[in-house]
Amino acid sequence: MPAELRCPECSSEMEAGFIPDHHVQINPSCWHPGTPSQRTRLGNLKLDPALMISITTYRCTRCGLLRQYARK
């Protein structure tokens, strides 16, 4: 991502961050292709860790708009 991303709504500076996922541990959110349909015997979603991409969330410092990007 660019060093300084500008908000598409108000043109202010956006800061990078993340939205934590709460499981057994707290981890940054990730993107996974497909639909969440298959489950394990314990009821958890079946995921392929090799396909997961970390999500970076940018927040506008002025209006609070959030934009999420999943880039390799």
Identify the CA nearest to 14 among candidates 50, 45, 47, 56: 56
Residue 1: what pLDDT?
A: 54
Other Cβ atoms less than 10 A from the Cβ of 55: the count is: 16
Residue 72: what pLDDT?
A: 84
Question: What is the rounded distance in angstroms from the CA atom of residue 8 to the CA atom of residue 34?
Answer: 28
Do 18 and 55 form a contact (C-beta atoms < 8 A)?
yes
Do 47 and 54 form a contact (C-beta atoms < 8 A)?
no
Residue 2: what pLDDT?
A: 56
User: pTM for this structure?
Assistant: 0.74
* pLDDT tens over the chain, length 72 residues: 556 789 999 999 999 999 888 777 888 889 999 988 888 888 888 889 999 999 999 999 999 999 999 998
